[in-house]
Amino acid sequence: MDKIIQLKEMVRGMGKVLIAYSGGVDSTFLLKVASDTLGKNVLAVIAKSPTYPESEVRFAKEMCQGLGARYLVIETDEFLDENFISNPRERCYFCKKELFSKLLAIAKAENIPYVLDGSNFDDKSDFRPGSKAKEELGVRSPLMELGFTKEDIRKFSRDLGLRTSDKPSYACLASRIPYGTKITPEILGRIEKGEEFLRELGFNQLRVRHHGAIVRIEVDQESIPHLIDDELREQVAKKFEELGYTYVTFDLKGYRTGSMNL
């Protein structure tokens, strides 16, 4: 049976759903299929916090409006939890527990029986402590349950004409900070400004990794020659020095997910 048909049948059987919505490839695909299936019985909730760039929040709102989906923007309070701020290896667990607890409260108030997220099958192979919070609180991941890979989701998104089909992978800004380094809004702000600057220069898939006085910039392999062009290299170095970094470095291995887990 076609995976999309299976997904529609699963969602239809749930009746009403709340979707943790980020504006990314996975959650947009899930929102599109759920909205086409359940209409106004779908509520997308967008979380706003210092760990998530304002530009991404705006994009998520625009996508909901474009899809005609009912949505809500909330603020999360992970910065009230020292377990999150201290940045242990399980950081993602405390962040997701805060988010999902808020989503479950909203779902209860709205009489919505299911809270869903956009995790896909490929996520099983990555280090994701947030999955524990999801399991503890009963949040469902239909794309993971039905075996949708990232490649599947991008293909089906193209077929559905979604703007996100080729959108670069994204993760919260806290994932740019090494475990054990305290997370502060000031550091997150520097990372956000640095990544916005690189996107304005035309780089697409990238990460700005914070290592104290050192910044480690990752771009996809194809973009490395452009990044180390003499004129552009000086421009990038100057910008990151203005952001407070003493040493500006480029990672010769290029962009890769989970490099902070090494």
Mind telling me the catalytic residues? 172
Residues 33, 37: Cα–Cα separation, whole Å: 6
Q: State how far the alpha carbon of 112 is from the alpha carbons of 128, 136, 182, 199, in Å.
A: 26, 18, 36, 38
CB 106 within 8 A of CB 70: no
235: its two tokens: 């421009």
Strand-pair partners of 72: 45
Residue 71, SS3?
strand
Residues 159, 6: Cα–Cα separation, whole Å: 17
User: How does DSSP classify residue 246?
Assistant: S
Residue 160, SS3?
coil
